[in-house]
Structure 1
Amino acid sequence: MFFTGPQERKRINLGGASSNTSLASLTDQAKARREERILLKKRNDSATRIQAWWRGVAAAKRTRAQMRQVFEQNVDRITGLRCLVLMGRDEEVLGQWSQTMVQRGEASLFAAANQPSWLVLVRQACFLLLRSVAASPQAPNAVPHLKVINMLVAADTATRNTGPQGRETTANILLHLSRRGLYPFLAQAIRFTTIADGKSSTSLPLLVPLATVAFSVSLADSEAYRNSVSASILSSPSRCYRIGYHYDASRISHLLPSTGADGLHGASHLHIPPPNALDGAPAPTAAATGTAQSRSYDSDSDDEAHRPVVSVVTSFTAAPPPPLPTLDARTQKRLQSLVATSHLNDLLRITQKQPDAARRALFDLILALEGIWPAKRTDILGAIVVGGSGTSVIKELWRGSVRRASATSILQEYARPASPSDPNLPAVLFLADLYNHALLTMGDDEFFAQQTTPQGSRNPMSTDELIVLTRLLLDIAFGLYQGRQDVDASETTETFGPKSVRFTWEEVREKVTKCLVAIHARDSRRRFTPDDHWLVSNQIDIKSFVEAALFEEQQLSSNNSRAVTTRQIARIAPRLGILHNIPFSIPFHTRVQVFRSFILNDIVLRGEDNRYAPRFAITVRRDHIAQDGFDRLREADLKGRIGITFIDQFGEEEAGIDGGGVFKEFFTSLCREVFDTDRGLWLANTNNELYPNPHAYAVEPHNLNWYRFIGRIIGKAMYEGILVDVPFAGFFLAKWLGKQSYLDDLQSLDPELYNGLVFLKNYTGNPEDLALNFTVATEDFGVTKTINLIPNGSNIPVTKENRLQYIYYVSHYRLSRQIKQQSEAFFEGLSEIIDPKWLKMFNQQELQQLIGGTDQPIDIDDLAGNTQYGGLYDANHPTIVSFWRVVRSFTQKEQEKLLRFVTSCARPPLLGFKELHPHFAIRDAGADELRLPTSSTCVNLLKLPRYTTEKVLRAKLLQAISANAGFDLS
């Protein structure tokens, strides 16, 4: 043993304590000997550890030499990779490996990818390379290191060499690097590189793509990665300025989550998540106080189960977000010039006679700018439309590329998310965006004009061209909504070309859908497409589709997913996604059946399908139906059964039991009162369609409660299948669907204002001569007020460049802002009864039919087949036979009058008279042929005397239905 010294024999005193030795001295002696033994043990233990360390160092040196020899013999094999990882921070070994991989190419790098340990080894090797670059980005090995890292984290490269699992492999490597400080390492390397070499650096072009590569694959928490990029790399203005020389601008939109004040797609705040947020795990909820502490560890071992956590957080108290990264004035000016109207128009003019490739590159640039500056999207597209180039660009896009595009080719790219390369897809997207924007300020007279007219310029696309375009867009949209079971549109990021614009397939689908919906809205008002043009019935089995949609709705209902967004629905419920986004692709009759099935499912879930379910009973005075209904039903559960008892003018209860008919009578009378324009809550346009009164008093709290109550009443009618003969204005119905209204809707509200705006749009002189600014004048109680359409609008003149924005803002104010609170209150009440998701299966015109019935001619055979008889009558009674013969001889208007006379609504139910509740009924009213027929609309009952001749029956029936005579409450 080392450090032991001479051994002493233990002294034993058998003679007892010496008379001259005190107890204290004995204690001191014992303590000294104990300390001596402790010191001796420490020496022995230290000697043992030193020997073990020395043996380990010697063994490690021998082993490293052996591994180095094995590595050099297997540099491009997995054995060599394993040796590299075990040797760790050996710069010479790392340099030899990365140079070999670069020389032999990506095939050699991924050659062993099918072996189980390859991924574990290669991601640790990737980390070692990254750490080496961060420590010395100017070293000779930095460039090959970065080339290898870029190959390993490129989804296209991985997919090309390993197959469909390549994207998952890339995500795994990136996740590992991010946990171990990818972005801080990159920031350090970029900082050292820009300081040392600036723009001439050979490493910088390889470093910059790594900052955004995480957004080309689906990772656990993309928001966390964006924040990491923002905090580590974009927080330095000088760093941003330097890397901008090597950066693909089309990828900026993937960096930052929201739009800053300057309109650039930038972070509204920067927040560094806890480490496990990068792993997709929920953030800790510890409430401990104090400051967060972290310490870093370096480890050459890949055993993550035994690797210390990167950060130890002792507090998750919300900290104020760090300030936004700022750019110097010079850089900001350069960036803003990219989206300037003059700049875009100059580019369009300069490239007008350039080869097609140059024009396509320009269109790709504009499409990229839309994604980078979402807040400037309207300005970018408006600059093209207003500048006079919009018509020619739309024609060029259509005739040069889109007309030749194939939905099948584009969808095949979606089906194999590797390196999509369809050259026509950028043109399709740009045309969809540009044409959709042009429609915002295009009136119907312009849309359907085939040549320049005094009312406006010609539509840049003919209706025949639009038929072809919409079919292409519909096939693309339907294919993307229906999708494949093994591909998620939200996870497939790249759509075309690594050097071009990049959008997710979900974004592609959204752009295509918006254009489709806008064109379909025009076709709904004035049909120009052939029959069944919008349907995809030949591509699906309707019965199976409906069953799947009902199942998806039940799943959402059971998970309390009422508040789910339309985009989320498209992802988790593909059939509902189709019904909510492109509903016109499914027959209207089918969608009505689905709607009724949704309601039936809701009734069953609530247990209301039991006919003995308790009623909510109320009493209503005959002469105060609206007020009593408001007071007693404002907070009631209107989905349940309601029992009505009427109080007559003498204060007595009317006899009878409400079997459904009394409620229908109450409901019909209530609607007649609350929608009366004399009450001041509603106004009617030139087509007698109703919309909320925009007057200031309409937004008083009491009146907003009335709008909410009326919304609940309409919801009850739709829930019960009761037809309400109340026409609503299309722009108001659009609010139910969450849509905005534009110039084309303004004609029905204010024809004079509409004509003025169309005149301004096509004015050939200087618009500034008209002395307009961004304000509108309104009048309340005889006082005229000036409202700014935009901040400081009174000081902003309307010019040739901004007149489309002015038209847009005026239309939006009149159609939306003025009735915003009233519409929101109404829809709040409606949504308590009808799930908003259900309404999105229809457009405005179809919603009106859902409320008031179809505009189709009355099917008398269907009505006769669903009629019940009472008294002496049956289907073969002579009077009944004569009745149906007379009714069939009526004109359509006379048939509608008859239906209104009996049911209070002139339109038939959407799904036929089998859906009319109670059923249409005819009862014997005696033999007195001098009497007129009467009706009880509350139970859809016609009381018909036994007329003996068709002549008398016809005359009496026409007299009754034309004069609305003979209404009977009995």
Structure 2
Amino acid sequence: MDLPLFGDHPNKKRREINLGGTNVTRAHSSILQDAHLRRVRREEERRRQENASRIQAWWRGTLRRSVVKQQLRELFEEDVDGINGLRCLVLIGPDKHILEKWSSTVVSNGPDSVFRAMNDPHVSVLLRRASHLLLKGVSEEPQSTSSTTYAALLEILLSRQLPPQSLTLSETRIHILSYLIARGYHALLGKAISGIPISAKLSSPTLPLLVTLLVAPFSVFTPSSIEYAQALQSITTFVLTIPLLPNRIAMPSLTYLAPRLPLHILHVINVNHIVENVTDLESRIHLLANLTAFAPARYTTFDPRAMQTYLDLTSTLLYSLPPHALDPLRQTTGRQELDWEDSDSDREPEVNVVDSFKPKVVLPQLDSKTVSRLQTLASPHHLNSLLEGTRKESFRNIRPSLYSWIVALCHVYPAQKDKILGAIVVYGGGGLVRELYRDLVRPSSLGKDRNYAALMDPQFASSWPPLLFLIELYTQALLTMGDDEFFSIGTAGAPRNPLTLDELTAFSKQLLNIAFTLYHNVDQVNMQDFVPGMFSLKWEGIRERATKCLQAIHARDSRKHFTPEDHWIVTTDEDIVPFIEAAVLEEQKLQPEGTRPLSKRQIASMAPRLGVLNNIPFAIPFDVRVTIFRHFVANDMTTGGYDRYRRRMGAPVTVRRDHISQDGFDRLRDVDLKAPIQITFIDQFGQEEAGIDGGGVFKEFLTSLCKEVFDTDRGLWLASKQNELYPNPHSYATEAHNLNWYRFIGRILGKALYEGILVDVAFAGFFLAKWLGKQSFLDDLSSLDPELYQGLIFLKHYPGDIEEMSLNFTVTEEEFGVTKTIPLMPNGEQIPVTRENRLRYIYLVSNYKLNRQIYKQSKAFFEGLSEMIESKWLRMFNQQELQILLGGVNSPIDVEDLRKHTNYGGLFGEQDPTIQIFWRVVNSFDQEQRRKLLRFATSCSRPPLLGFKELVPNFAIRDAGSDEKRLPTASTCVNLLKLPRYTNERTLREKLLQAINSNAGFDLS
């Protein structure tokens, strides 16, 4: 067939060409994609070939290594304990069979072959690697027979006494240990020890060898070498963190280990590195427990540098734990959760508004032996040992670390704080407090002004521990320091106030500046930040401790002034009005209706001015606080719809004159006393009495009621030697019916405070303290039981053997002719009073007499009182001020002030001749006569604390006719004096004196 000369072959498909743009683009993309796929396929093929080559090479190598290892094994078998056997062992690497045979052969043949090998400098590297294989073998199976052999050979290499013929042997040992320490020597030994159960400590042949190996580096290296420091650092990090380490080791090994732990040169370690490596909470607790087991017996061997490091390390561990973390009461079944926050053992737990949303710290469940061992940290014996070990002059520079350590211990054991500080007070006496203040606190710039930035500057972190320790120690000392000691210079042999009154004045001012700044000038969110260098202790904790000490010092100053006038005041006249306005506004916004009362801590975190008023109220002038109190009451009246001056009348309450207290109890116990109360008296004939109604005769009712319910013959109240009242501690006073009476009386007195009515009743200071949520201690006991007080003071200063007195931690009480013994603490009958714990005994006896015995009565009374007056209002005052608020100020009566705030009625006016004569006569009265006049007209002999402008209603004089033979009379419910129109001064004087001295009753005319 003829073929065409030109063109395509007839059987070939003609190529189509499309000159359109779209198809050209698609063809170009297809070409690029095909090229990419071909490249990918070529790359995959290349990788497959390379991987195949590697696998083939690996397999050839594996086969070759297997052949070589087999050859090495054969060579090893020919010279097990020789140089060739050692070389084969190292080249073969981890092989249990080879390692077992080599180690057992060398151990059975004796150490000579090993020492010969060590004498060869070319074999040092081989021995180092072989030792590492042995060490890893021990750590992996510490209970196996082979591990015993490994440990025995290591003991020969590292601990056995070397023959004296060669220095090279010692150098080789140094090289081996240096090699092992750099590769986790003590971490592997610690793993091995942890792998042996406590129950096997007597039967395990490996354990004694491991103990020997633990301390081997300390006999090889010099203390100045890097290896020595590394070894001590690693044994602290990896071995002393083993749970129950002393209990894991048999007594012979423990006796060997304890003196060879070089804790006396602990200063070569780096505390920060240890803390960074020991991160989990449980390991830190076990490190602390093991140090507690080994270190105290060595305190006398510590030089200042070692003691400094020991204190820094243990205090850092303590500060890193949350409060109560080591408390045995917390170590119950299961795992416990605690807020990571500071707390105070003297207070009931409070819910912290900020911290309640923070994550919880989960505490490990600790073994009882660990808990018991850690408890020894707070024992008087241990504290005395520590203090004795640092009393030399050469230790003076490290005492700030000692004080920080004690503060940290109190932080972790808040329930034991009194015991800890009490033991230190007994040991150190006043010298320690003086040294703290004069050497460390007084020179510090902390608290010299109220500069917030300076107070929280991290550069002052080292100044806080001594200050905190002084605060804690002096607060504890004040608990059992009598006023005679506090204010006197002391007598020979008797302890006295370690700080002079001048020093206390400066110290209290320093604390006042710190506390006021932390309450008033600081953003309260910052209170949840941790103090630099003190880990878990927050600024809030600093503030609370400073406040507690301030309150204790201020209480002494309140009883007997030693500070300058206005020492406690931190506000200026220009600040007063803004402070009052801000405090009132905070009170209005603070607590939504229906919520439970806020604690002092919560108030401080939410309302700075109220924080000051509730915690350090003495920083604000008394009259300012009274004004604020009146504002609070007025606002509460407005909120409740009660008007103080234009009052809506309440439902009438009838009270029989001869049954005032019982009728008042029956008819008012469930009445809203904030509302107006309209009292109607029923006379002995059953008739309603007529009387002047100046807002009701409630004031007259209240005066009569107080005379009855506070009568000590009724059995609810007793009077002290100063005729001051307190609840009867007898058990029958705690019966339900009598507790209801206390609750009722609290409501009635709350009504008096709410209305501003003065009540002529004086309460004992230790009972008034209950109104403020405080407890009373030794000094208050003198007014309650002078004989017991003198006995405790004698015990406190007794120089002889106290145990000869056969006292224990109990008290005896007699009721209805039956004597019973009451323990002051659990098992108090079994705990003798000694020189070391006598301050604790004094504290507990005082607490029982002043607090525990009247707890239920005081609680019931305060429940009633708090229905009328919020507790945060009362906390603005101390006991003395509270008595003034309730009964008026015991100060001279200012006649001019009374005259200025007197109203006149009837025919009288200010210029009336009888009124002019009256004021001349009253001006001539002495203070006793003036008090009788005031009592006659108002039922209270003391003037209002802010002057007679506060008397409600104002003092008034009304004419009572022209019969000059009549005596003046009074309506005390409305503070009204009814005065006949006397025409001469002599008659007025005689009649007025006769009336006020005869204590005439309420006039119904």
TM-score (norm. length: structure 1): 0.69
Q: Is the 8 A contact 2:285 2:317 kept in 1?
A: no
Alignment partner of 1:448 out of 461, 469, 487? 487
CA offset at residue 698 of structure 1? 0.5
Paired position in structure 1 for 2:415: 375
- Mapping 1:154-233, distance limit 5 Å: 195=191
Q: Deviations over 1:266-315 (max 9, x none)?
A: 99943599xxxxx999899xxxxxxxxxxxxxxxxxxxxxxxxxxxxxxx
Q: For the residues of structure 1 that align with 2:860 and 2:719, how far apart are their CA atoms?
A: 19
Quote the Cα distance in structure 2 between the aligned partners of 1:934 and 1:453.
61
Alignment partner, residue 72 of structure 1: none
Report the Cα offset of residue 654 of structure 1.
2.3
- The answer for the alignment partner of 1:836 in structure 2 is 871
* Deviation at residue 339 of structure 1 after TM alignment: 2.2
**558 and 233 in structure 1: CA distance in 2 versus 1, 3 angstrom threshold:** closer
Deviations 1:730-761 (A, max 9, x none): 00011111111100110010111000000000
Structure 2 counterpart of 1:467, one-letter code: T
Equivalent residue in structure 2 for 1:515, among 549, 552, 561: 549
Provide the residue aligned with 1:582 in structure 2.
616
Q: 2 CA distance for matches of 1:476 and 1:400?
A: 19
TM-aligned CA distance change 1:323 to 1:783, over 3 Å: same
Q: Which amino acid aligns with 1:660?
A: G
Match of 2:394 in 1: 354
Report matched runs for 1:67-106 at 5 Å. none
Q: In the superposition, relative to structure 1, how do residues 917 and 241 fare at CA in structure 2: closer, same or farther (>3 Å)?
A: closer
What is the number of equivalent residue pairs in this alignment? 721
- The residue that corresponds to 2:590 in the other structure is 556
Q: Provide the C-alpha distance between the structure 2 equivalents of 1:268 and 1:613, rounded to a whole number of angstroms.
A: 60
Q: Which deviates further from its counterpart, 792-801 or 752-761?
A: 792-801
**Corresponding residue for residue 690 of structure 2:** 655
Judging changes above 3 Å, is the alpha-carbon distance between structure 1 residues 197 and 269 closer, same or farther for their aligned structure 2 residues?
Answer: closer
Q: Deviations over 1:938-970 (max 9, x none)?
A: 111111111122122112211211121364133
- Residue in 2 aligned with 1:90? none
Which residue number in structure 2 is paired with residue 270 of structure 1? 336
Alignment partner of 2:886 out of 851, 854, 865: 851
Tell me if structure 2 keeps the 8 A contact 1:235–1:324: no
CA distance in 1, matches of 2:499, 2:286: 47
Matched, 1:492 2:549: no
CA contact (8 A) 2:472 2:545 kept: yes
Answer yes or no: is the 8 Å Cα contact 2:338–2:363 preserved in 1. no
Structure 1 residues 743 and 414, CA, compared in 2 at 3 Å: closer, same or farther? farther
1:948 is matched with 983
| Equivalent of residue 811 in structure 2, options 761, 776, 781 | 776
2:267 alignment partner in structure 1? none
Matches of 1:414 and 1:266, distance apart in 2: 44
Q: Evaluate the alpha carbon distance shift between residue 197 and residue 752 of structure 1 in structure 2; reply closer, same or farther with a 3 A threshold.
A: closer
Is the counterpart of residue 255 in structure 1 residue 321 in structure 2? yes
Aligned partners of 1:862, 1:594: CA distance in 2, in Å? 22
Matches within 5 A, 1:912-951: 912-951=947-986
Deviations 1:120-172 (A, max 9, x none): xxxxxxxxxxxxxxxxxx9xxxxxxxxxxxxxxxxxxxxxxxxxxxxxxxxxx
- Mapped contact 1:960–1:966 kept (Cα < 8 A): no
For 2:290 and 2:331, how far apart are their aligned partners in 1? 19
Tell me, in whole angstroms, the C-alpha distance in 1 between the residues paired with 2:969 and 2:998: 11
* Distance (Å, rounded) in 1 between the aligned partners of 2:952 and 2:539: 46
Listed as ranges, the matches of 1:268-667 within 5 Å are 269-270=335-336, 325-327=365-367, 329=369, 331-332=370-371, 334-352=373-391, 353-387=393-427, 389-408=428-447, 419-452=458-491, 456-485=494-523, 488-495=525-532, 498=533, 503-538=537-572, 541-558=575-592, 560=594, 563-609=597-643, 611-656=646-691, 658-667=693-702
* 1:887 correspondence with 2:887: no
Query: Does residue 814 of structure 1 match 2:849?
Result: yes
Q: Please report how far the alpha carbon of residue 604 of structure 1 lies from its aligned counterpart in structure 2 after TM superposition.
A: 0.4
**Contact preservation (8 Å) 1:364, 1:426:** yes
C-alpha displacement at 1:584, in angstroms? 0.5
Percent same amino acid among aligned pairs? Answer: 56
Alpha-carbon distance in structure 1 between the residues aligned to 2:922 and 2:784? 38
For each residue in 1:883-911, what CA deviation from the matched residue of structure 2 results, as whole angstroms up to 9, or x when unmatched? Answer: 11111111111111100000000011122
SS in structure 2 opposite 1:404? coil
Task: For 1:249 and 1:429, locate their aligned partners in 2 and report how far apart those are by CA, in whole Å.
Answer: 14
Superposition deviation, residue 659 in structure 1: 3.6
For 2:764 and 2:530, how far apart are their aligned partners in 1?
Answer: 41
CA–CA separation in structure 2 for the residues paired with 1:895 and 1:825: 37
Question: Match of 1:862?
Answer: 897
Q: Is the 8 A contact 2:905 2:958 kept in 1?
A: yes
* Contact 2:190–2:238 (Cα < 8 Å) also in 1: no
Counterpart amino acid of 1:340?
S
| Whole-angstrom distance in 1 between the partners of 2:504 and 2:864 | 39
1:63-103 Cα shifts (integer Å, max 9, x gaps) = xxxxxxxxxxxxxxxxxxxxxxxxxxxxxxxxxxxxxxxxx
Going from structure 1 to structure 2, the CA distance change for 1:569 and 1:414 (only over 3 Å counts) comes to farther
**Residues 216-271 of structure 1: CA distance to partner in whole angstroms, max 9, x if unpaired?**
xxxxxxxxxxxxx9998539987987899996543535534546653789999435
Distance 1:459 1:964 in 2: 48
Do the aligned partners of 2:320 and 2:535 also contact (CA within 8 Å) in 1? Answer: no
Amino acid at match of 2:367: L
Q: C-alpha displacement at 1:576, in angstroms?
A: 0.4
CA distance, structure 2, for counterparts of residue 779 and residue 864 of structure 1: 54
Partner of residue 98, structure 2: none
- In structure 2, what is the Cα distance between the partners aligned to 1:405 and 1:620? 65
Question: Gaps (5+ residues) in structure 1?
Answer: 1-50, 62-137, 139-189, 209-228, 274-278, 285-320
Q: Is the 8 A contact 1:718 1:850 kept in 2?
A: yes
Q: Is the 8 A contact 1:712 1:830 kept in 2?
A: yes
Instruction: Provide the alpha-carbon RMSD of the alignment.
Output: 3.6
How far apart, in 2, do the equivalents of 1:960 and 1:656 lie? 20
Tell me the distance in 1 between the aligned counterparts of 2:849 and 2:355.
46
Q: Counterpart of 2:653 in 1: which secondary structure? A: strand
Residue 206 of structure 2 corresponds to none
Distance 2:853 2:543 in 1: 32
Deviation for aligned residue 1:422: 4.6
The 1:426/1:820 distance shift into structure 2, 3 A limit, reads same
Residue identity matched to 1:433: E
Provide the C-alpha distance between the structure 2 equivalents of 1:619 and 1:701, rounded to a whole number of angstroms: 26
Which 5+ residue runs of structure 2 have no aligned equivalent?
A: 1-36, 48-135, 137-185, 195-213, 215-230, 240-276, 293-309, 340-353
Counterpart contact for 2:288–2:314, Cα < 8 Å:
no
Residue in 1 that maps onto 2:282: 234
- 1:46-73 CA-partner distances (Å, limit 9, x unpaired): xxxxx9xx99x99xx9xxxxxxxxxxxx
> Which segment drifts farther, 837-846 or 909-918?
909-918
**Greater Rg by CA:** 2
Query: How far did residue 691 of structure 1 move?
Result: 0.2
Provide runs of 4+ in structure 1 moved above 3 Å: 190-208, 229-233, 235-261, 263-269, 279-284, 321-324, 331-334, 407-418, 557-562, 655-659
- 2:128 counterpart residue number: none
The change in CA–CA distance for 1:339 and 1:715 in structure 2 (over 3 A counts) is same
Q: Specify the alignment match of 1:82 in structure 2.
A: none
SS in 1 for 2:877: coil
CA contact (8 A) 1:774 1:796 kept: yes
SS at match of 1:401: helix
Displacement of 1:356: 2.8
Once the two structures are superposed, residues 410-460 of structure 1 have per-residue CA deviations (whole angstroms, 9 ceiling, x without a partner) of: 865756856343543322211111111011011111111112168x53211
